[in-house]
Structure 1
Amino acid sequence: MATFPILMFEPRFKSVIWGGKRIAEFKGLPSQGDNIGESWELSGVPGNESVVSEGLFKGKNLHELLVEHSREIMGERLTERFGDEFPLLVKLIDSADDLSVQVHPDDELAGKRHNCPGKTEMWISIAPEDGAYLYSGLNRVLTPDEYRRRIADNTITECLGKYYPEKDDVFFLPAGRVHSIGKGNFVLEIQETSDITYRIYDYDRRDAQGNPRQLHIEESVDAVDFNDIEGAAPTKIPHGENVQHIIADCAHFTVSSIEVKDQYVLDLEDRDSFTIIVAIDGYAPLIDSDGTVTMLPEGSTALIPASMPGVTIRGNCKVITAYIK
């Protein structure tokens, strides 16, 4: 298998009613507007595919690359599983206001209804403001009837697990877990490639045209895990220099944190998977197996192809890595 270069992509900034200004600041870029809630760092979502920002393949989008080079980028095993569809979506999220309360269907329900994958995801808290909170899971078992009633009388948030995140807190959100990001959070999100969201409750907000934002209450009833009262609390990224700590591990992704001191050699020889690297604290130069250096500024994301046997991460930084077992 030929060695393929490390790939860097242009971020896709998303303007939303609850967005803020912190994403561009974090990435060291000029302002992208006042309501930027998301930066899609790595995406194969149709119509929102990431575009290569530099190097040999500059200007090509991720789907075009996978049509031509899926085995080099994703490996034999994942190409057999996913074809030329990239299976993960990476975002930065800045909530200057509360996001809607929502849930995502699992793969079976999403496939049946929408002919696409469901959405299991995770959050890593990067820079929460004082008093910022998140909702994750339920604080008691609900019935579908009580669930509908609580939405109707605006008390559904009283039934949710409420957490005040600290920097480096990790939230795992399997499909079916009701959740919401509150005002003042800044998170890295890693998820299955899916843009299917069932909006449950939205604080009676209206869109730019003055219309109530669409809810998906009945669609969500089949998606919600009404017994989801355990496992929703956050875990913490462990500290320790030059050690790879697994912080989420499921069928859809394996995510680790590495606190690099001077340099860390990431061995990829036996993965047969792409590896995503996100710099969440500090500057992280990447040296590939041919000695080529790729600069990874704070807030940036790199895609390491499956054909690359390893990469050296230089500097004093913290990175998040993701791949699929």
Structure 2
Amino acid sequence: MSESPVFEIVCGAQSYDWGKLGKDGSKVSHFAQGLPNFEYDENKPYAELWMGTHPSCPSTLHATGQDLKKYLKARPELLGEKVVHKFGDDLPFLFKVLAIRKALSIQAHPDKPLAQRLHAERPDIYKDPNHKASPDE
């Protein structure tokens, strides 16, 4: 492999009502301020910083702006043989940093087969076919 397996990504900040306001020290807004094209608003609730390939807020490569999912798809060796064998040619997780100002709603996540079916049937609502795996998966 001639390219470095280590590279900088540009992640995205998500704003939800329950997020911590920028002026109140939101770590999401603090980290996001180092991102290109990020516009800080001290009164905006910054809730989540996403690092991954989720279609709602995909990361890109800092050096080129290339979509992380496309980059990994063309270079499955970066994921490793075991990961590709078990999860395919996409990043099998979405890493998030949360900044919480008020109580979150309860969320229920489908298992992998249901997530795949729901995504196939309603991709406008179920944005990806992944389940919310436990740490041992």
Do they fold alike, i.e. is TM over 0.5? Answer: yes
Greater relative CO (CA pairs within 8 A, separation 6+):
2
Task: Name the structure 2 match of 1:67.
Answer: 73
Count of residue pairs brought into register by the alignment: 118
Structure with a larger share of its residues in helix: 2
Q: CA deviation at 1:49?
A: 1.7
SS of 1:17's equivalent in the other structure is coil
TM-score (norm 2): 0.72
Unaligned 5+ runs, structure 2: 121-128
Task: Name the structure 2 match of 1:235.
Answer: none
SS of 1:63's equivalent in the other structure is helix
Q: Aligned pair 1:50/2:56, yes or no?
A: no
Question: Could you give the per-residue CA deviations for residues 168-209 of structure 1, whole angstroms, max 9, x where no partner exists?
Answer: xxxxxx4xxxxxxxxxxxxxxxxxxxxxxxxxxxxxxxxxxx
Superposition RMSD in Å? 2.3
SS of 1:91's equivalent in the other structure is strand
Please point out which of 250, 255, 279 is paired with 2:136.
Answer: 250
CA distance in structure 1 between the partners assigned to 2:32 and 2:46 by the alignment? 15
Task: Name the structure 2 match of 1:6.
Answer: 6
Q: CA deviation at 1:12?
A: 0.3
Task: Name the structure 2 match of 1:282.
Answer: none
Unaligned 5+ runs, structure 1: 121-173, 175-248, 252-325
Q: Aligned pair 1:29/2:38, yes or no?
A: no
Q: CA deviation at 1:3?
A: 5.7
Q: Which structure has the greater CA radius of gyration?
A: 1
Q: Which amino acid aligns with 1:104?
A: H
Task: Name the structure 2 match of 1:160.
Answer: none
Question: Could you give the per-residue CA deviations for residues 40-83 of structure 1, whole angstroms, max 9, x where no partner exists?
Answer: 1x2111242201113xxx21111121222122x11223223333
CA distance in structure 2 between the partners assigned to 1:4 and 1:10 by the alignment? 17
Q: Which amino acid aligns with 1:79?
A: V
Task: Name the structure 2 match of 1:39.
Answer: 49
Task: Name the structure 2 match of 1:231.
Answer: none
SS of 1:18's equivalent in the other structure is coil
